[in-house]
Amino acid sequence: MATLELRNVNKTYGTGVPDTLKDIQLAIKDGEFLILVGPSGCGKSTLMNCIAGLESISGGAILIDGDDVSGMSPKDRDIAMVFQSYALYPTMSVRDNIAFGLKIRKLPQAAIDEEVARVAKLLQIEHLLTRKPGQLSGGQQQRVAMGRALARRPKIYLFDEPLSNLDAKLRVEMRTEIKLMHQRLKTTTVYVTHDQIEAMTLGDKVAVMKDGIIQQFGTPQQIYNDPANQFVASFIGSPPMNFVPVRLREQGGRVLALLDSGQARCELALGAASQGFDGREVILGIRPEQISLGAGGGDGLSLLRAEVQITEPTGPDLLVFVTVNQTKLCCRLAPDISCQVGDTLNLQLDPARVLLFDAQTGERLHLARHAAPLQDNVAHIAGR
Amino acid sequence: MTSRLDKPAISLSRLAIHAVLLFAVLLYLVPLVVMLLTSVKTPEDIGSGNLLSWPAVVTSIGWAKAWATVSGYFWNSIMITVPAVLISTALGALNGYVLAMWRFRGSQVFFGLLLFGCFLPFQTVLLPASFTLGKLGLANTTAGLVLVHVVYGLAFTTLFFRNYYVTIPDALVKAARLDGAGFFTIFGRIILPMSTPIIMVCLIWQFTQIWNDFLFGVVFSSGDSQPITVALNNLVNTSTGAKEYNVDMAAAMIAGLPTLLVYVVAGKYFVRGLSAGAVKG
């Protein structure tokens, strides 16, 4: 049970090499579940090793419960870690694997037996205690690895991509179990993953990393609904957010984005006019589920007509791809819609959810937001 | 359609393969057969028959005489080989563990330089080694010979263990460190128990090398402390009296037996150990 704070943590492997970690700054409360997520090579595993004490930091401080532990060796930090490869000691039985850390810490045998029994019961691995890791399935090894971490009742748990070696079905099961475990034990946890679904479902807080920099730190909802830049927006969400290059125009005190599907054009009203947006080329971001099918046929005033190019029925959804501004746009529609390649759909983009990004830097752009009622927001321009 | 399984068990090509293999086996066996046959013949028998002829009388005279001559040197060899093999394997394991799992600044360069040791011919180290042994006061002693073998063997044993240990995931050491284990605890409790195949490889390799060594033995020892290879050479090259080929052959077989025994007992680990690193790496 502990708080964790990282203050301006830096990690570099020498001059001339780009820094592996740059000014990492975040703090989580006691019992919170922090997710470090990012593409491979973003420094998330390095950061985790630094927290564990397996790698030294080049600058800054790591605080556990307010105490600076940056200079401490791993064993004095009271941290337990679950590794991607599980890292079970292959020559030891499951029981000895779980008990190893306790033996090293010279606990009395009775206490060790009791602790192993408790953990085994918790993880339902009692029947496996005498086996060697090589005789276990991937999911069982995963449980034993977690058992080894649980046994010491450390201040902080670290999980380094613990589910990435499991098959898809087991991964979902274990994900739920980890969440359940955390809800029950309420131990401060840091969890590294490159899987954005794990990040969204497990975390109390999510830190999205890229190139050794935290791009955004917040709750999963903040990260999903209010991404700080195009990278975060593209990384979180599946299927990913659509990015359409658009030209903005100001008219009647509102900012309009011009969309062209080839079949028709429309101007999407995004919000009240703000300085410097007239005539600017930006990236418009919209998630597939924020695109819906306009009321059939109707007046067509608020809708963008577009020809279906690909359909991907996924089961719960029907993904439809159309082209807007020479860019593929993915729309997530209800699965019962019958639509064929070549059909023309009337699409409705939710202007309240549309995000704008700078075309060069990818940084998020904010309009002065006063979304008018939906009907007014879309001005239709005659189809070609 | 006939599948591969339906083919007759003995085909012409299979027969040819077996014939060639059998021929090769016989060819390889000839020296051993000649030695064995000669060692149990009487000197007269050797003079009258040819190399492969069956002995007229099977006698153990040759073996008895050979053992009487070389037994002292046989024990010398054991006194040299056993400690040298054990020490060089133990140090190699520790070196390999450090070089694979506790990388330090310059450890790659260190390992590279160490590799040179594997390519050094025996002859190049004779003078420096004898100089060093003299300074240490170990010249012409068994301990001195052990030291030379340990130092010369370290390059090989380190290479073996290092290459085996790099295939063990780093996470294992990390996990043990988080569990609170230190350098030697990790080595003793986790790494060594996983090392049986490579320990076997190393033991076989070092035993063969050191037992069969002649040059170091002849240079760094004298008189009663000489190893069996040197004694065998002295016996065979002796110029006084009649040549006793049965004694020579028996002595040669005595000299070769321990290595053979090691291969028979631990041989299965040799192939397994060498390929274990190769496949996983």
A83, A155: one domain: yes
> Residue B59: which of B246, B264, B269 has the closest Cα?
B246
Residue of B nearest to A88 (CA): B172
Q: Which CATH code fits B63-280?
A: 1.10.3720.10
Option in B178, B185, B194 nearest A79 (CB): B178
Q: Please check whether residues A210 and A137 belong to one and the same domain.
A: yes
Phi and psi at residue A311, to the nearest 5°: -120, 140
Task: Mark whether A145 and A219 lie in a shared domain.
Answer: yes
Asked whether residue B9 carries a pLDDT value surpassing 80, the answer given is: no
A56 touches chain B (CB under 8 A): no
Query: Looking at beta carbons, which residues of chain B come within 8 Å of A84?
Result: 171
Nearest beta carbon to residue B172 from set A75, A87, A105 = A87
Domain CATH for A136: 3.40.50.300
Quick one: average pLDDT of B57-83?
91
Q: What is the pLDDT of residue A277?
A: 83
Q: Cβ(B145)–Cβ(B226) under 8 Å? A: no
Q: Is B272 exposed, middle or buried (0-12, 13-18, 19+ CB in 10 A)?
A: middle
Q: Are residues A71 and A214 in the same domain?
A: yes
Mean pLDDT for all residues in chain A: 87
| CB pair distance less than 8 Å for A83 and B171 | yes
Q: Are residues A79 and A168 in the same domain?
A: yes
Give the closest of A73, A84, A100 to B179, CB-based.
A100
A135-149, B12-26, B43-57, B215-229: lowest mean pLDDT where?
A: B43-57
Q: How confident is the model over A183-206, as pLDDT tens digits?
A: 988 999 999 998 888 999 999 999
Query: Minimal CA–CA distance to B34: which of B46, B24, B43?
Result: B46
Of A169, A201, A235, the residue at which a domain comes to its end is A235
Q: What is the mean pLDDT of residues A339-363?
A: 89
Backbone angles phi and psi of B87, in degrees to 5: -65, -45
∠ CA(B94), CA(B99), CA(B104), 5° rounding?
A: 120
Token pair, residue B235, equals 């016996």
Do A31 and A157 fall into the same domain?
A: yes
Q: Which of residues 92-121 of A touch B (CB under 8 A)?
A: 92, 100-101, 104-105
How confident is the model at residue B243, as a pLDDT?
80
**Which of B168, B178, B191 is the best residue to mutate to test the A interface, defined by the most A CB atoms within 10 Å of its own CB?**
B178
Q: A223 with A317, same domain? A: no
Residue A347 · residue A303 · CB < 8 Å: yes
Q: Who contacts B206 (Cβ-Cβ below 8 Å, separation ≥6)?
A: B84, B85, B88, B89, B153, B156, B157
Residues A181, A205, single domain; the answer is yes
pLDDT band of B4, cuts 50, 70, 90: low
Residues of B whose CB is below 8 A from A51: none
Nearest Cα neighbor of A308 from A333, A278, A279 is A333
Closest CA to B175 of A178, A97, A2: A97
The mean per-residue pLDDT over the stretch B212-221 comes to: 91
- What residues make up the domain containing A266? 242-381
Under a CB-based contact definition with an 8 Å cutoff, are residues B42 and B56 in contact? yes
| Residue-wise pLDDT tens digits, A163-181 | 888 888 888 888 998 999 8
Claim to verify: residue A325 and residue A225 sit in the same structural domain: no
Boundary-marking domain end, from A194, A209, A235:
A235
Q: Name the band, by pLDDT with cuts 50, 70 and 90, for residue B221.
A: confident
Q: Do A191 and A262 share a structural domain?
A: no
Domain count, chain A: 2
- List Cβ neighbours of B47 (8 Å cut-off, separation of 6 or more): none
Give Dmax (Cα) for chain A: 83
Judgement on whether residues A179 and A310 belong to the same structural domain of the protein: no
Rounded (to 5) percent helix, strand, coil in chain B: 80, 0, 20
Helices (DSSP H) in B120-244: which residue ranges? 122-136, 142-165, 170-178, 183-186, 196-212, 215-220, 228-236
Residues A62 and A194 occupy one common structural domain: yes
Partners of residue A86 in chain B, C-beta under 8 Å: 171
Global pTM reads: 0.78
User: Quick check: bond before A239 cis, omega within 30?
Assistant: yes
Cα separation, A368 vs A250, in Å, equals: 13
Question: CB-based contact (8 Å) between A13 and chain B?
Answer: no
| Residue finishing a domain among A184, A207, A235 | A235
